[in-house]
Structure 1
Amino acid sequence: MKQWETSELYREVKSRPSEDGSLPFQKDSEGINTEARRRCLHLLEYSPRTIYQLKKRLMEDGFSAEQADDAVQYAESFGYVDDGNYAMEYVRTGCQKKSRRQLYMQLSSRGVDKESIEDALEAYADEQENTVRRLARKRLTQKPPRTEEDFLKAVKSLVSKGFPYEMAKRAVWELRDEYGSTNE
């Protein structure tokens, strides 16, 4: 017995039929091996994944593209795979530390479609101002600024993380009075 055959998700899905009425983990009429379905559910048990990530991983594990597609569709039929929800959750957890641009690029590289990314980013648009202020404060606390150049370095640091220049500059300059500058 494979390790993932004992998992909770496997046991839950094993006990209920899919949308087409077939029992889980049986070869269907086309003879597609259900091993890919099992592997897909096992992968989802450890962390949420996008459709692209699942298909890629299944093919890396030696399953054909057809088997990978079938397995992902099977997981989707139970609601275990949803790129829109994945994007929302990823942005919700990442918006505290990353810029909008970083989040967009990371989700894009994970195969999430542009529309889902934009919807998720729009839902957390207000968080970007708070994030840039928090990161500016952290930067200025870790390396207390002594000169005007130190403040500019803090702005550059935020811009390099993907924040717009004006937003980074405004956040650093708001904190400037608090930290002061010796050479003005």
Structure 2
Amino acid sequence: MSSDELKARALRSLAQRDHSRAELARKLAAHGEADAVEAVLDRMAELGLLSDTRFAESFVRSRAARLGERRLQHELAQRGVDPDTINEALRSELGESEQARARDVWARKFGRAPGDAKEWARQARFLITRGFSADVVKRVLKEPFDESA
């Protein structure tokens, strides 16, 4: 595939949504040589069309209302964003505290306190799979059950 065709393919992908550099490289790798792909990626970055920082901020902004910090970090890392960029995006885009966001997610899904230990565990698993830490989950659910009782 020629350089112009690679550029056109990259522009089409970027027109649909922001991509991380690693994501776009994976998409273009099947269509051109590694050197040609890197040249296209460099040119897109020079033009300001490709930015891992912008991608990470947009990603966090769009998913922060439903996911915890750990899950956001993991998903960005899977998309090839470096840890410093991830931390900067999380710092700049997460307006509410982790506990407030967890409480909102919990309230939308459940809305009422768990009635027994089994329900508490189900709600806790839900929040943990959304990427909230165990400490935050305990505070949100207020650990109402004492197993020794």
Instruction: Give TM-score scaled by structure 2 length.
Output: 0.84
What corresponds to 1:126 in structure 2?
Answer: 96
1:42 to 4, 9, 12: 12
Gaps of 5+ in 2: none
Q: Deviations over 1:44-80 (max 9, x none)?
A: 11111111111111112x2111111111111111100
Instruction: Give TM-score scaled by structure 1 length.
Output: 0.70
- The number of residues matched between the two structures is 143
For 1:133, give the aligned amino acid: R
For 1:130, give the aligned amino acid: A
1:73 to 25, 38, 42: 42
**Structure 1 stretch displaced more, 101-110 or 153-162:** 153-162
What corresponds to 1:18 in structure 2?
Answer: none
Q: Is the 8 A contact 2:65 2:105 kept in 1?
A: no
For 2:52, give the aligned amino acid: D
For 1:54, give the aligned amino acid: L
Distance between the aligned counterparts of 2:109 and 2:10, measured in 1?
A: 41
Q: Which has the higher contact order (CA 8 A, sep 6+)?
A: 2
Q: Is the 8 A contact 1:37 1:70 kept in 2?
A: no
State the superposition RMSD in angstroms. 2.2
- Which structure is larger by alpha-carbon Rg, 1 or 2? 1
What corresponds to 1:58 in structure 2?
Answer: 28
